[in-house]
């Protein structure tokens, strides 16, 4: 009788151990499944990032718009198209100055707008005056720039404008907003001065290098 009771106790103990091991194994599988699910979710494409809608841009055109959408934002303008560089542009006046407004795309998404200011006055000093004119206008809108560069002439007999004209200097201001970078610059190339205002989407610009030097020959 004692032997039977002893064997019964052993069987009960074995059952309890097996039951415990089974529960532990099930819990482990559940944990592994949970961790696996978390990993799979983490590896899925982030649709919020891929389909991001930008609030900023240039006038009515928002960053990420297609060429057709940008055209529709300026129905009164006559657009020109340069296929080899994936851009559109039209001519107009900005703050009383003639300008080319150039829209640059990457994968048919607007990421950069350049205003090439055409200074009508003769003489390099006129470009410096216009630079400060546009600096004042941009400061009124965006506040003080986050960076200022004034690399001019080191020779007292040579003006800053002439030094920039010869490619030996540059004037530049930079502003930042939540989505955009704005750069006002006066620079020289082949004895020509170029005054630019550049608006650029920070996120999309990482996919492309700066194009501004490519547009000086647009008629």
pLDDT per position as a tens digit, 130-172: 999 999 999 999 999 999 999 887 777 888 888 888 888 899 9
Q: Determine the pLDDT at residue 190.
A: 75
Question: In the predicted model, what is the mean pLDDT of residues 195-208?
Answer: 88
Q: Determine the pLDDT at residue 208.
A: 66
Distance CA 68, CA 85 (A): 16
pTM recorded for the entire structure? 0.69
87-111 confidence digits (pLDDT tens): 999 999 999 999 999 999 988 999 9
Greatest distance between any 2 Cα atoms in the chain: 121
For β-strands 180-189 and 192-201, DSSP reports them as antiparallel
Residue with the two structure tokens 């005056």: 129
Distance CA 103, CA 115 (A): 9
Q: Determine the pLDDT at residue 75.
A: 94
Q: Write the CA distances from 22 to 18, 19, 77, 96, 156, integer angstroms.
A: 6, 5, 75, 82, 89
Q: Determine the pLDDT at residue 149.
A: 93
Q: Determine the pLDDT at residue 120.
A: 66
Q: Determine the pLDDT at residue 165.
A: 81
Question: In the predicted model, what is the mean pLDDT of residues 120-135?
Answer: 83
21-75 confidence digits (pLDDT tens): 454 454 444 444 443 333 222 223 233 234 456 788 988 899 999 999 999 999 9
Torsion of the alpha carbons at 89, 218, 123 and 137, rounded to the nearest 10: 20
Which residues, including other chains, have CB under 8 Å from residue 99's CB and lie 6 or more apart?
A: 91, 92, 93, 115, 116, 117, 118
């Amino acid at each position: 009788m004692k032997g039977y009771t002893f064997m019964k106790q052993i069987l009960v103990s074995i059952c309890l151990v097996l039951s415990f091991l089974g529960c532990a194994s099930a819990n482990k599988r559940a944990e592994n499944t949970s961790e696996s699910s978390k990993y799979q979710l983490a590896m899925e494409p982030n649709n919020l990032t891929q389909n991001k809608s930008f609030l900023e841009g240039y006038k009515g055109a928002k960053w990420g718009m297609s060429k057709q959408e940008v055209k529709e934002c300026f129905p009164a303008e006559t657009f020109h198209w340069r296929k080899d560089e994936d851009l559109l542009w039209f001519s107009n006046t900005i703050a009383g100055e003639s300008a080319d407004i150039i829209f640059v795309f990457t994968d048919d998404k607007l990421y950069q707008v350049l205003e090439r200011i055409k200074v009508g006055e003769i003489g390099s000093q006129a470009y410096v005056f216009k630079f400060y004119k546009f600096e004042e206008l941009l400061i009124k809108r965006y506040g003080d720039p986050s960076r200022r560069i004034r690399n001019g002439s080191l020779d007292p007999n040579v003006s800053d404008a002439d030094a920039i004209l010869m490619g030996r200097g540059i004037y530049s201001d930079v502003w930042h907003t939540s989505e955009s970078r704005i750069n006002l610059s006066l620079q020289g190339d082949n004895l020509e001065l170029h005054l630019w205002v550049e608006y650029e989407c920070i996120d999309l610009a990482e996919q492309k290098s700066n194009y501004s030097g490519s547009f000086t020959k647009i008629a």
